[in-house]
């Protein structure tokens, strides 16, 4: 997949839980395939802002999306009932070109899709600076996926 993505300047989205080797593996693949973009689902489940910061500081061709880490998913890692985690918010502000919004109504949560969207709007996006909000909400996706500009 990475060879094809690198050949066509495409992307590979990975759903990869953090363990002792994950960060090094993501960095290794990004260096090996510099024309391919790696998109980490959920900003790497079990990952921390420091983990993502280390990856972003090391390689330019990795992004992540912030779905599936809300209290509605049973994991208040990024967004909880009281709002977005301050450390994650700072990471998003610092790397606003490298993070996208996601929803991920997995695990039987499709019936709560509207609620997931509402939480992302009111707890995550609402806490961001306006220019960051636009990038995370849609501009980064438009750029990465070559979508028509709204």
pLDDT digits (tens, 9 = 90+) for 53-69: 999 999 999 999 998 88
Averaged pLDDT for residues 62-78: 86
Apex 97 CA angle, 10 and 85, nearest 5:
120
Per-residue pLDDT band for 115 (boundaries 50, 70, 90) equals confident
Q: Which residues are CB-contacts of 38 (< 8 A; sequence separation ≥ 6)?
A: 11, 12, 13, 14, 26, 29, 30, 61, 62, 63
Chain centre to alpha carbon of residue 141? 11
Which pLDDT value is given to residue 87? 97
β-bridge mates for residue 13, sequence order: 39
Phi, psi of 118 (to 5 degrees): -60, -45
Q: How far is 103 from 66, CA to CA, in rounded Å?
A: 8
> Max CA-CA distance within the chain?
44
Q: Is the pLDDT of residue 27 over 80?
A: yes
- Of the candidate CATH numbers 3.40.50.1390, 3.20.20.140, 3.40.50.10330, 3.40.50.1110, the domain formed by 2-145 belongs to 3.20.20.140
Give pTM, 2 decimals.
0.93
Could you give the CA distance from residue 74 to residue 68 in angstroms, rounded to a whole number?
9
């Amino acid at each position: 997949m990475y060879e094809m993505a690198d050949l066509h300047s495409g992307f590979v989205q990975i759903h990869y839980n953090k363990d002792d080797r994950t960060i090094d593996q993501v960095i290794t693949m990004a260096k090996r395939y510099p024309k391919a973009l790696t998109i980490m689902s959920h900003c790497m489940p079990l990952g921390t802002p420091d983990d993502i910061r280390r990856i972003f500081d090391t390689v330019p061709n990795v992004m992540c999306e912030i779905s599936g880490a809300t209290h509605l998913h049973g994991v208040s890692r990024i967004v909880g009932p009281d709002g977005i985690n301050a450390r994650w918010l700072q990471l998003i502000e610092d790397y606003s070109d490298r993070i996208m919004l996601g929803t991920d109504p997995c695990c039987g949560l499709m019936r709560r899709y509207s609620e997931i969207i509402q939480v992302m709007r009111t707890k995550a996006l609402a806490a961001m600076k306006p220019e960051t909000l636009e990038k995370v909400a849609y501009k980064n996706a438009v750029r990465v996926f070559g979508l028509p500009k709204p």
